[in-house]
Amino acid sequence: MQRILIADDAIFMREILREIVEPLGYEVVAEAASGLEAVELFALYQPDLMILDLVMPKGSGIDATRMVMNRFPAAKIVVASALGQQTLVADALKAGALNFIAKPYQPEMVERVLGTVVEKTPESLVERGD
């Protein structure tokens, strides 16, 4: 069972994602409401995958992606974004995110994107010591 961290400042968006991913066999191990909290929880739980909103308080999704990738270069991160935020999505992909999911969430799209990301990088997470 793949373990997921969901990071979004809107609790209802986290609930929607949880309702989509749990029936697909994913286990939500933690939820974060800010970029900084996402980084802290990623280090604590080291999930197989993180779904990260791009626009959050206390550290954007892009900043959080960079911080996680610096410590965990094999991390699997999918960013979530409203339509019309293509520049932010491009920046997140450059920072190390593997894919993105457009909001509002469509269950079929979430399933497809998560499936491709889980298959992309099978190696385990390794924390950098720098």
Residue 121's pLDDT is: 52
Report the share of the chain in percent with pLDDT over 70. Answer: 90
As a whole number of angstroms, the distance between CA 84 and CA 62 comes to 16
Question: In which element (H, E) is residue 30 found?
Answer: strand 27-32
What's the fold here for domain 3-119? Rossmann fold (3.40.50)
Indicate yes or no: pTM above 0.85. yes
Tell me what the mean pLDDT of segment 102-126 comes to.
79
Q: Where are the domains of the chain?
A: 3-119
pLDDT recorded at residue 120 = 66
CB atoms within 10 A of CB 130: 5
- Residues 31-81: pLDDT tens digits? 999 999 999 999 999 999 999 999 888 988 899 999 999 999 999 999 998
pLDDT category of residue 83 using cuts at 50, 70 and 90: low
DSSP string for residues in 42-75 = HHHH--SEEEEESS-SSS-HHHHHHHHHHH-TT-
